[in-house]
Structure 1
């Protein structure tokens, strides 16, 4: 009797986007008869460095975004940056132990540190199973791009072309991984009166979303509702200022079905969910680093409008009345017309071994 294929998906609990994509891929693979397991690459770091890294990132994004912008430019985006993250070798060493126990047929990375660790092992011949990187960002900074990995799955054609040029590895497009509930949304018409505009702040509730909400409220035409994620302090501040702030919301597809637009600041999972639901995305005041680069990449891909000023934000929302809404929906439909990610794993070689690991 043939052995079921096994896929190990490496994610990271940095926000919710990487984990959400990994969980949805695992669900689909399991439904297709593949053994899929998700592991958090932060758990592979010694000395509790994973929780420390997660805490540092959250603190900088809330309290010192300028510091994260500096780190991003030095380590993630600079032309002459160090060849790999200082954490790569630490993660790779423990990933090797995990691979010894699990022996997957394929490793899939949905976070850049995982892509670095798996690519390092693959290049050294210590990982003989195929290594795939599933990009969850529209902007592929260099830490996503380790040439030791076998292939890349990308969110849009421009990103795929860039990845091929940098790594020399195969890169193709996949339909963004969102829960089926978002694909089943039947958007309502814009309606009359103050139109509901969702303002995304990610799962950690970061970015200058209070400023965004004030811009929208002053128009008298748009009713801002801020998605605060798990940031209870942000929700409380907004309520004290007379702005609606929602905590973690289980019925986000239903809320998107009633909304006029989403104002996004990170080009992450919420933006993809909005596109799946047929909700136009306008970006404004992006968070630094990968958020800003992702927002600009989405604009170049034609799947969102990017506002560079308060007046530009209002003008972009107003433009949705003049045909821009349908153009954005068509661009989003094109993204989701790409092959589903799970189809890329439907076939493959039998279970492989890991060089140097023994029996």
Structure 2
């Protein structure tokens, strides 16, 4: 691996994509490689990247119904456009990135980056191997461009559908989380820092770095049960933290650097996004209950995790309490934790990047272009099928 040069493409859409990119870069450097991270949104001209980030943050926090419409039309619809103007612009700017071709491999941790690299690779404008590291537990069509050489998937169930949709290899990899989560400690200090009393059964409620979703409702359900103490991770949403503090249903925390210690102190995690925080909890041995997921990819990710048996999807407050109560059974708890921990049995992503298998022979460019639309259509069909199946399974998650 020594001397290998890797470019990692991310995007500051929340903290998940950047968190995976930063940890992957750390591991690669530790193994003797050179690794650089570029935010593809910063490549866009005229402040378009910042506008896109702010627009997404506004819609996901203030108008989730609108985000759901956007997701349905552009991310999973069968007749969605094959390439958006934003993809074309991103690819053009990325293709002019100084020194792009000096890298041995380009790794995308965000779907817009994956679209851009696939487009460049398909047109012969990117000579470097292009790998997509999927950071969602469920995949939508924007992750899938047949121009990329391969996909790495923390959810092993995605490898077959991705290969079928793109015609390119897809292999499972372990979730990319910081080492602190695999051996969490400091639970006693974390309890003291938030004023927890002896005997309090702490349940972390994650709202992501932007503090999104109906987490106040989850906190109220837990607090009123008298059996659990909700601890809401509000991220950088100061307004949400103030509202929760005024409600008085339990500690409301801003951005924290001691999340591994908080997980060591907690009984369970309640999550609504099926993102990096869930994977961190899996690594820490903390059971995860999904409740009232955010729109779009969050809902599909929650369903995918429930299908895999690594979480339980609680649709109602009573389901949430029942799922938490069941975790008091040591056998039940151990089985759920073991299923989640099994995800880490896949090879680490950095080893796959450092010693990649030879990809299958690339079909002629004309043939590849002809099949691209069919591949995306298959991916959309798979996403809708997964959503339907997920809805059926979710209703049977709890006895």
TM above 0.5, yes or no, is yes
Match in the other structure for 1:247: 254
CA–CA separation in structure 1 for the residues paired with 2:24 and 2:11: 14
CA–CA separation in structure 1 for the residues paired with 2:186 and 2:322: 22
Stretch of structure 1 that moved more, 323-332 or 245-254? 323-332
CA–CA separation in structure 2 for the residues paired with 1:89 and 1:318: 50
Please tell me the root mean square deviation across aligned C-alpha atoms, in Å: 1.9
Give how far 1:333 is off. 1.6
- In the alignment, structure 1 residue 113 sits paired with structure 2 residue 120: no
- In the alignment, structure 1 residue 258 sits paired with structure 2 residue 257: no
- The superposition leaves residues 191-214 of structure 1 with CA deviations (integer Å, 9 ceiling, x where unpaired) of 984410000000000000001100
Match in the other structure for 2:155: 156
Which of 340, 344, 350 aligns to 2:352? It is 344
The equivalences for 1:10-89 within 5 A come to 10-89=9-88
SS in 2 for 1:321: coil
CA–CA separation in structure 2 for the residues paired with 1:9 and 1:102: 13
- In the alignment, structure 1 residue 326 sits paired with structure 2 residue 334: yes
Unaligned runs of 5+ in 1: 350-359
Q: Aligned residue pairs: how many?
A: 347
The equivalences for 1:271-282 within 5 A come to 271-282=278-289
The answer on whether the counterparts of 1:122 and 1:131 sit within 8 Å (CA) in structure 2 is: yes
Stretch of structure 1 that moved more, 179-188 or 46-55? 179-188
- The superposition leaves residues 7-43 of structure 1 with CA deviations (integer Å, 9 ceiling, x where unpaired) of 1000000000000000000000011111100000101
* Cα 1:219–1:230 shift into 2, 3 Å: same
Match in the other structure for 1:308: 315
SS in 2 for 1:199: strand
- The superposition leaves residues 251-281 of structure 1 with CA deviations (integer Å, 9 ceiling, x where unpaired) of 1101100100000000011111111100000
Unaligned runs of 5+ in 2: 189-196, 358-399
Give how far 1:85 is off. 3.0
Give how far 1:327 is off. 1.0
Stretch of structure 1 that moved more, 294-303 or 99-108? 99-108
- In the alignment, structure 1 residue 94 sits paired with structure 2 residue 102: no
Match in the other structure for 1:356: none
Structure-1-length-normalised TM-score: 0.93
Structure-2-length-normalised TM-score: 0.84
